[in-house]
Structure 1
Amino acid sequence: MILLKLAPITSIAQAQAMLETAINVEFGTLPPYLYAQLTILPGSNGPALARLQSITHQEMIHLCLAANILNALGGSPKLSPPTYPGPLPGDIGHDGKVLTLHILPFGKPAMQQGMNIEMPVDPIDFPQLKTLAAAPLVKAVTIGQFYEALDAYLKTLPATAWQAGRNQIADKQFFPGQLFAVNNYADAHKAIQVIISEGEGTSTDPLDFGKELAHFYRFEEIYRNQVLTSSDSPQGFSWGGPLGVDYDKVFPAIADPQLHDFSKEPPAAREAQAACTIAYSAMVDSLNLALNGNTAQLGIAVRKMFDLRMAAIQALHAPLTDKHKVAGPAFIYKKI
């Protein structure tokens, strides 16, 4: 779960710093989610793949919405690619323990990690229509509470604090109907509610505002290999039939490729990693420009995401020296 220390917000500068942290938290979840998605063997695990794709898509929207709020308050977003394994940005942890994220191939550990990141304060305990072991759930401060504290402060700001139309991303080509400009508190409140709803749901409903399962429960469906379906239970939902997850249908990809020494690997594996690094770095640079007013760069960033996917496919088909292993993208950033 994402755990952020909540300090009282007393200035716009503090709100800007919180938003900068939020943007990089959203961005920092993307490599772990993408790695799990990319390492699914083609033609397999369709329902799980669809859930992961929708989550990564929405995380990009959350990133842009948080950046829109920051820009409307006069800030300047900056993506800072994290190291894996390592923490997400900010005071993230519980009882003095920092949440360390790993880059993991598709499997139960990767889905458990996704649940840990997206976990609500009080996850709903749905009745079992099939007996399966449930992951242990822990109550703590989450990213949702972080955004709620931010929202409470933003509500107190005068209308003059907002700079309408400043560096807003409201691109209809790539995120139609989902990404909108933030010009005032009402817009910021709407954006924050979307981010919270899609990530965690609510304390009584696993669905977001779009009537789709929140991220936490989509990860839990994959983890349990069960579909969460509407029922006449008091919670309104129950764990039902199998989702169709096959954890054997996965590339034999190594975990935490940033820790791997590719200099000792075959040329094809080295070249694929180099291509992944170039595409990932170019994507980060384009996103940084797009978030700071150069909206034409958003389309370039999307194309670089496609380049990264193509390079990842090459990497996943290039055996390492241990010919039973491959490596997906290491998500290493190098200034181009």
Structure 2
Amino acid sequence: MSLYKIKTLDELKRHLNAAMQLEHATIPLYLTALYSIVPGTNREGFHIVRAVAVEEMLHLTLVCNLLNAVGGHPDLSAPGFTPNYPAYLPDGEEDFAAGLQRFSPDAIETFLKIERPASLKPHESNKRLRKRKGALLSAGHTDAAEEEHFFSIGEFYKAVEMGLDDLYAEMGDALFCGDPALQVGPEYYYSGGGGLLTVTDMTSAKKALDLIAEQGEGITGHIFDEDGEIAHYYRFQQLVLGRFYREGDLHNHPTGGEVEVDWNAVYPIKPNAKISDFPEGSEVRAAAESFNAIYAQYLALLTRAFNGEPNLLIDAVGDMFRLKELTYQLMRQPIGDGSEFNAAPTFEINLA
């Protein structure tokens, strides 16, 4: 498999910054679908999407620990960090753009593309270069600056791991020049998404990358990891195939219990809604603007937490609960423009 070769520490930091954007970019997608489910319905679907969203937050934290370990400085509040949806992902898949939409077969199809294993890569799809500006682009963006792209998130992280190996062979322990005090440990982290690791050396760096890969697309295409946890791709696939996977099942052939899905038990939110879609002076517009302000505050708190104030993660949890309530407030309300759609968060945060 031909992958982009990371040759310098600056290139490694650039890729880890893109990894931060990548992990964060999935979270609004999953949360939008999650909270579009009418409460009390689609319990199995709600649990599946929520579990993946929680693990993406874990992955974001692990990447920030990795970046800090090699002397970088995570910044989740920089212009352009949050994508203008629909957007291409920063690891460079060019066959789809990911958008904010309700829980639906189309949404799950997008999630499957996001989490797809490298083993699904077509043989003719070797590493190519594409014209891109920055790490995240809106769909249809045409400005040019060459960037490598990868078929899957797993391929992207494999390139990061190979770069880490090469740089460690060249630099030794000096590669991990970051201040250990900036690491976020499990004592500061509120999540049920798996064990958080601090990164201070090559062993812990490899463990962090392995955990991200295992929870995402799985280990070499396996459905379950060593702890019996199912990879994201196969979790989402259960919603399409209508059955749960069991240990020993073959790909695409789950034999567990039935997964019940009601695609109609969702709020009819506007896909990829923008503030400009909501009437001026309306309650939904004010709620959407309030959501964006609190989300920007949330990202600023995370940035401080990942730069030496880990106790602020507790405050960030409070912001998440406020955002959840605002999300439901928006999704229950018609936009008021005569359309069939309800409102939804727009995630228009510090757009470049």
Alignment of 1:148-297 (within 5 A): 148-156=158-166, 157=168, 158-163=172-177, 165-172=180-187, 173-175=189-191, 178-231=195-248, 238-258=254-274, 260-264=276-280, 267-297=282-312
Give the Cα–Cα distance (whole angstroms) in 2 for the partners of residues 214 and 234 of structure 1: 14
Alignment of 1:56-75 (within 5 A): 56-75=53-72
| One-letter identity of the residue aligned with 2:201 | N
Q: Deviations over 1:275-321 (max 9, x none)?
A: 21122111111111112222122122221111110101111122222
How far does residue 115 in structure 1 lie from its aligned partner after superposition? 0.2
Partner of 2:129: none
How far does residue 327 in structure 1 lie from its aligned partner after superposition? 1.5
Partner of 1:134: none
**Secondary structure, in 3 states, of the residue corresponding to 1:34?**
helix
How far does residue 334 in structure 1 lie from its aligned partner after superposition? 4.8
| One-letter identity of the residue aligned with 1:326 | N
Give the Cα–Cα distance (whole angstroms) in 2 for the partners of residues 179 and 267 of structure 1: 42
Give the Cα–Cα distance (whole angstroms) in 2 for the partners of residues 333 and 303 of structure 1: 19
How far does residue 149 in structure 1 lie from its aligned partner after superposition? 2.0
| One-letter identity of the residue aligned with 2:312 | Q
TM-score (norm 1): 0.86
Give the Cα–Cα distance (whole angstroms) in 2 for the partners of residues 212 and 153 of structure 1: 28
How far does residue 138 in structure 1 lie from its aligned partner after superposition? 5.3
Q: Deviations over 1:3-26 (max 9, x none)?
A: xx9421111111111111011100
- Equivalent residues of 2:275, 2:285 under 8 A apart: no
Unpaired stretches in structure 1, ≥5 consecutive residues: 124-136
| One-letter identity of the residue aligned with 2:190 | F
Determine what percentage of the aligned residue pairs are the same residue.
28
Give the Cα–Cα distance (whole angstroms) in 2 for the partners of residues 106 and 270 of structure 1: 22
Partner of 2:51: 54
Give the Cα–Cα distance (whole angstroms) in 1 for the partners of residues 164 and 350 of structure 2: 35
Aligned length: 312
Point out 4+ residue stretches in structure 1 off by more than 4 angstroms.
137-140, 233-237
| One-letter identity of the residue aligned with 1:223 | V
| One-letter identity of the residue aligned with 1:279 | I
Alignment of 1:26-65 (within 5 A): 26-65=23-62
CA RMSD across the alignment = 2.3
